[in-house]
Amino acid sequence: MKTILLDIDGVLADFVLGFRQLANQRYGVPVYGTMEQLDWSFPDLTVEQQNHLWTEIRESKTFWRDLPVLPTNVLLLEDAVDNHRVYFCTSRLGDSAQYQTAAWLDEKFYITYPTVIVSSEKGRVAAGVGANFALDDKVKHVLQIQQESWAKAFLLDQPYNRDRDWPLLPRVKTVEEFFLKCLK
């Protein structure tokens, strides 16, 4: 049995699409999803507008729960959850982020009672749970996991994390590729 640490946003959930839909409702900016997000800036939104959106997200009882799913092989994810210790670790904000994430995993992937950890200290979390493998879309988190735990951490290839070549970060194109590498 292996211990796996999985990120949510940019890995399983399309946070960018949800954020852009909210931004469109409030400020009329274009809507697009994760696959069109080339970096982590939002130049069509002022800092004030972005702060307002983040406040609204933090206070929302449904934002995280309503996010669309990124393409994922549900059977591989279910198999991993059924046969290994899988922790879902997210940096989501808000008092109900953990509850909404667990409900989202149940509704979208039929994972009942998932273990959801809300933290941006993913290296410490990986060390604390004794993770063997981890998957994240943020370079900073993959580096933390590599430096602070024994887990083999993979970077999920997304347009916004291609700004530099990271030769020490094993990259996978899909969640399925990650599972095939760590569960073989």
Residue 165 pLDDT level (bands cut at 50, 70, 90): confident
pTM given for the model = 0.95
Q: What is the pLDDT, as a whole number, of residue 76? A: 85
Q: What is the pLDDT of residues 16-38, one digit of tens each?
A: 999 999 999 999 999 999 999 99
Percent of the chain as helix, strand, coil, to the nearest 5: 45, 15, 40
Q: What is the pLDDT, as a whole number, of residue 20? A: 98
Q: What is the pLDDT, as a whole number, of residue 183? A: 82
How many whole angstroms separate alpha carbon 158 and alpha carbon 38?
Answer: 8
How many whole angstroms separate alpha carbon 184 and alpha carbon 175?
Answer: 14
